[in-house]
Amino acid sequence: MARQKITVVGAGNVGATAAQRIVEKQLADVVLVDIVEGFAKGKALDMMQSAATEGFDTKIIGSETYEETNDSDVIIVTAGIARKPGMSRDDLLATNAKIVTSVVEQTVERSPNAVYVIVSNPLDAMTFLAWKKSGLPAERVVGMAGVLDSSRYACFIAEEAKCSIKDVRAMVLGGHGDSMVPVPEYSTVNGIPIEQLLSKETIEKINERTKHGGAEIVKYLKTGSAYYAPSASAVAMAEAILLDSNRLVPACAYVNGEYGLNDVYCGVPVILNKNGVEKIIEIELRDESNDALHKSANDVRELCDKILTAV
């Protein structure tokens, strides 16, 4: 069987690191595309020259154009500008909207069966836009952030509970912005609710730290935003799609009816497999979490309304 193919658009920090993770895992061959001439080609060549040492047979090529992306199984979109200190993800809206639109227009007919994993920010609005521009069924366009925000939450839970991160399951729902919703009632250490292990104050503290997890990193980096955890999250989603593994993860999906929300993309628990979002899982939320989810979805909706006028 031919190896599967992932196109990664954007060969910057997130895209190149995602590409590296994919080839090193031997998950799929990669086509790395970037608008800057030579940028993706140079990075791809560099990665290929690590294959002998790392021991992978997967191939990666770079390009400024899209011919090589034909018949991709998954398209990860990281193209766009990243945040600088003092910027919110929403400040990227107008620039990234144009970029994401052009990426979708250039890929959608070439890879009629692909599932899109959107990473560019502001994430939920970009995923909504990619879906609108692609004309694809909504299940084939999914956004990355729930996996990332949950892995940030898991990191802080493990640190505070002084336990192995391998035993932590964390859940963050809602949009990928300041109003995201860490959900302690569905976050556990090997099945034990974190509320039995950590004080209310500690949970409140790590909830806040999770919501601003990206900004904390931007503040340190100064010239860009996070990419190790974002690339790992995008690749985990691509893997669930390629391997048809029915992973249950929080992801930015098209919600229409579930959770009392309508016609909006936002972070909810989903089953992810070769079809993309196979199913949205509706879980019972405490009133507090449910209200926060609705508020967060409203914030996303406002951005989505703006975005349609920005492109």
5-38: burial string, b at 16+ Cβ within 10 Å, e else:
bbbbbbbbbbbbbbbbbbbbeebbbbbbbbeeee
Query: Helix, strand, coil proportions of the chain in percent (round to 5)?
Result: 50, 20, 30
To ligand APR, the closest distance from the beta carbon of 127 in angstroms equals: 12
Shortest approach of ligand APR to residue 215 CB, angstroms? Answer: 11
Among residues 225, 233, 273, 289, the one that binds ligand APR under rule CB under 6 A:
225
Tell me the closest approach of the beta carbon of residue 114 to ligand APR, in angstroms: 16
- Near ligand APR by CB under 6 A: residue from 224, 285, 290, 311: 224
Residues annotated catalytic, as ranges = 176
**Footprint of ligand APR on residues 76-115 (CB under 6 A)?**
78-83, 92, 96, 99, 102-103
Q: Which is nearer to ligand APR, 83 or 247 (CB)?
A: 83
Rounded CA separation 295/289 (Å)? 10
Answer yes or no whether residue 11 interacts with ligand APR by CB under 6 A.
Answer: yes
Q: Quote the least distance from Cβ 157 to ligand APR, whole Å.
A: 23
- DSSP assignment of 22-86, as one string? HHHHT--EEEEE-SSTTHHHHHHHHHHTTHHHHT----EEEESSSGGGTT-SEEEE--SPPP-TT
Residue with the CB atom nearest ligand APR in the bound state: 12
Amino acid at 308: L
CB of 63 to ligand APR, least distance (A): 10
- Collapsing DSSP to helix, strand or coil, 106 comes out as helix
Interface pick for ligand APR out of 8, 9, 136, 180 (rule CB under 6 A): 9
Site for ligand APR in 22-41 (CB under 6 A): 33-36, 39
Nearest to 160 by CA among 168, 149, 172: 168
Nearest to 230 by CA among 290, 269, 176: 176
DSSP β-ladder status, 276-280 and 264-273: antiparallel
- Please give the Cα distance from 52 to 261 (Å, whole number): 50
> Quick check: helix, strand or coil at residue 251?
strand
How many of the chain's residues bind ligand APR (CB under 6 A)? 30
Nearer to ligand APR, 227 or 259 (CB): 227
Selected range binding ligand APR among 12-20, 174-182, 195-203, 268-276, rule: CB under 6 A: 12-20
Give the per-residue contact string, 148-177, with ligand APR (x = CB under 6 A; - = no). ------------------------------
| 190 secondary structure, DSSP code | T
List contacts with ligand APR (CB under 6 A).
Answer: 9-15, 33-36, 39, 78-83, 92, 96, 99, 102-103, 119-121, 224-225, 227, 230
